[in-house]
Amino acid sequence: MPVDEGVELWVEERGDPARTPLLLVMGANASGLVWPEALVDGLARQHRVVRYDHRDTGRSTWAFDEHPYAVRDLASDAVRMLDALGIDRAHAVGMSMGGILVQLLLINAPDRLRSATVLCTSALGTGLAGDSDLPGPAPELLAYWQTMGEERDVEAELDWRVEHWRLLNGHGVPFDPAEFRALEQRVIAHSGTPRGPVAHALADQSGLDRGPELAAVRVPTLVVEAPEDPINPPPHAPHLAGLIGSATLATVPGMGHALPAAVVGPLTELIAGHTAAVDAEEQRVR
């Protein structure tokens, strides 16, 4: 799917095309395949689900070294992709950096959103996207990230990614190394390379300090708290929910900054319940 000069995104659709669209926006340096199959299938029971690879991940164009861009440009990619798919308005679900991008859509393109759900993220202008008094990432994660992008063979890269997921998962729900090793084997096969994506860590982060603008948002928004998140720990989610004028806050007990099988069911129910309520209200108004 072309979204910019020389840039194409890999896109996958699932579910009935006649149902309301739902766009899944993944986090930094992560392929769209990181969304668990069970979550995609669960949401596809009531939506036309669209997931995709950001630039410099998966099967999308890898060209950051030749054509660097800003994080905010990834939000523009999402809008252009909706245009190319002929989608006027979609529910948007964003995780981590994907939650940052969905916040930008809430401000820049609210007319394109039916609803928003953000999880494992921080408000614009805080966390990794800014400076605030809220707690930052765990020290062990910051230390581990120093080895991101190093040259490794396939098995060593798999080991690195599984350990990364273990750190991200936290201690609230069980961590199954085999589950995440199988996930990353699929991601590497999908991408066609074991090279770890790093472009989003290098991308310009200017233009993200827009938290105060969230107060004007009227799009129905669900903020999902991950109480064991080692990147955006409490109280990041309540802080974000307090900034967004239309937000409600819900918690998935034990969830960290990963989507293991243990949290997929509760998370899918929260998202599906939120979008179903919005769709029902739109039908009632009509």
CB atoms within 10 A of CB 109: 17
Which listed residue (229, 236, 246, 274) is catalytic?
Answer: 229
- Taking the C-alpha atoms of residue 128 and residue 260, their distance in angstroms, rounded to an integer, is 23
Tell me, yes or no, if 190 is annotated catalytic: no
Q: Are strands 113-119 and 48-52 parallel, antiparallel or unpaired?
A: unpaired
Tell me, yes or no, if 115 is annotated catalytic: no
What one-character DSSP code corresponds to residue 255? -
Q: For residue 115, what are the CA distances in angstroms to 106, 151, 163, 179, 205?
A: 9, 41, 34, 31, 25
Which listed residue (96, 115, 122, 246) is catalytic?
Answer: 96
User: Is residue 156 helix, strand or coil?
Assistant: helix
Tell me, yes or no, if 96 is annotated catalytic: yes
Residue type, 122: S
What one-character DSSP code corresponds to residue 254? T
Is residue 223 within 8 A of residue 196, CB to CB? The reply is no
Angle 199-187-95 from CA coordinates, rounded to 5°:
60
- Taking the C-alpha atoms of residue 221 and residue 47, their distance in angstroms, rounded to an integer, is 17
Q: Which residues are catalytic?
A: 96, 229, 257
